[in-house]
Amino acid sequence: MKKILLCRTDAIGDLILTLPVARSIAERHPQLHLSLLVSEYTKPLLENESYLDDILTIKGRSPAGFGAIKELAQLLGEHRFDTIIHIYPRFGLALAAAFAGIDRRVGTAYRGYSFLFNHQVKLHRRKSSKHELDLNYDLVESLFPDLKRHRPALTVSDRQINAARRLLEKRSDRPHYVVIHPLSQGSAPNWRLSRYLDLADKIAASDHQVVITGSAVQRSMIAAALASRRRSHLNLAGETDLTTLVGVIRNAKMIVTGSTGPIHIAAAVGTFAVGIYPPQTALSATRWGPGGRLVKLFVPRIDGKASAAVACMDAVATETVAAFILSKLEEDAKLLI
């Protein structure tokens, strides 16, 4: 093997939970040329990761249509990879790799298109109780045994930190803040927006600045919900690209969110994260939790019925989460005295 391509084209958290594998391979086998195929959206996360030799991108998570598959196959062929590892397998990606004539095509053995992988790994991901990071390492174990396993980490540049600082200075003269990222893309049950804003009010009542983050699509929903609030919070939803968002999270005292990309960013840059996670096994923190040490997770209890899981998120009391956060902020403040 000389040129390796890891394929992970899905969401922020998924990519962050794959980066330790790339880092481990690069450290153990520095003679290899190691590349990563990601979506255009998540590429900014990788701009400071020096252990990657190259980064390739596609629009979306998988090529849409035969023309896009052929285009990706041509791109892969031009790079002359001898091995591709489908950490995020999709039919279009697998077919493009086969068309490109990549010698070793690694993927799991139990998909309808697994015949496109000539190196099949007997690994069931969907119903596994293992953490995603461990499953990623398990997938590459047959090719790269005995890798040193790392926790997720992102390298944050001064440019990212300064861009975040400039953005915040335009809106507030308070350098210390707590980030609340209340909305998700719907991949897992989450607290209601009103619960997050109730929490924001309680944090602000103790004289802490609260910064709300989210996408441009989510901005109007957040703004409408904030309009009825007595306390003022800084709404940055839609005002940060991914590069700046990393800086905003890195500079924060803490972040509060659900099972979202930002909680994985926080864990990877060393910012304390408070997570509100669902209890179902397939969506739980055991399976998808952030990989860092600076984490406190709140998970509701259910009676075992999956149908009850969405409704039960309200079982996590705002007062309980607020009490922990305020205690942690007070404790951190004392350490600085």
Distances (CA, A) of 55 to 49, 98, 337: 10, 20, 44
Residue 68 sits at φ, ψ, to 5 deg, of -70, -35
**Coil, strand or helix at 216:** helix
Pick the closest to residue 254 from 177, 199, 332, 321 (CA basis).
177
- Mean local confidence (pLDDT), 62-79: 96
Task: Count CA within 13 A, CB hemisphere, residue 77.
Answer: 12
Neighbouring CB atoms inside 10 A of 19's CB total: 27
Indicate the pLDDT class of residue 303, thresholds 50, 70 and 90.
Answer: low
Q: Report which residue type is found at 165.
A: R
Which token pair is 208? 């802490």
pLDDT digit string, tens, across residues 282-297: 899 999 999 888 999 9
Neighbouring CB atoms inside 10 A of 281's CB total: 12
DSSP sequence for 77-128: HHHT-SEEEESS--HHHHHHHHHTT-SEEEEESSSTTGGG-SEEE----TT-
pLDDT digit string, tens, across residues 100-133: 999 999 999 999 999 999 999 999 887 788 999 9
Query: What domains sit in the chain, N to C, each tagged with a CATH number?
Result: 3-140 (3.40.50.2000), 158-335 (3.40.50.2000)
Q: Tell me, what's the pLDDT at 310?
A: 57
Q: Report which residue type is found at 120.
A: Q
Q: What's the pTM?
A: 0.95
pLDDT digit string, tens, across residues 9-38: 999 999 999 999 999 999 999 999 999 999
Task: Count CA within 13 A, CB hemisphere, residue 298.
Answer: 23
d(CA 119, CA 108): 8
Residue 179 sits at φ, ψ, to 5 deg, of -90, 135
